Amino acid sequence: MIKITDAAAEQIRAAANNPDVHGMVLRVAAYQEDDGSVNFGMGFDQEREADEQLIVNGVALLIASSSTPYLQGVTLDFVEMSPGDLRFIFIPPYS
């Protein structure tokens, strides 16, 4: 399943302390486009009945069953793309 680096976990835990997301869990999603590419996304959300809830590196995650195949072996990281430009990135296992 998905892996979360320490840097990403730290940033997610900090974001989870925002009062606007109180009671929500981080949802991670992935889907395949017609051209075969995979798009990833994430955001705080309420749990739905069909969700799988996981704890990865101390972070609670929600994952819809439709996303599960595309998240196998993916790593979520938080990196500096260029000076001052910090972002979450999804690293597929085949990269």
Which domain, by its residues, includes 77? Answer: 3-91
What are the structure tokens assigned to 7, written together? 């840097």
Q: Which residues, listed in sequence order, are joined to residue 62 by a DSSP beta bridge?
A: 27, 53
Q: What is the pLDDT of residue 95?
A: 57
Look at the chain and report how many structural domains it folds into.
1
pLDDT in tens, 3-49: 999 999 999 999 999 999 999 999 999 999 999 999 999 999 999 99
Q: What is the pLDDT of residue 73?
A: 95
What's the CATH code of the domain at 61?
A: 2.60.300.12
Cα separation values, 65 from 24, 62, 70, 79, Å: 19, 10, 10, 28
pTM, rounded to two decimals: 0.89
Q: How far apart are CA 73 and CA 17, in angstroms?
A: 28
Q: Is 11 helix (H, G, I), strand (E, B) or coil?
A: helix
Q: What is the pLDDT of residue 94?
A: 79
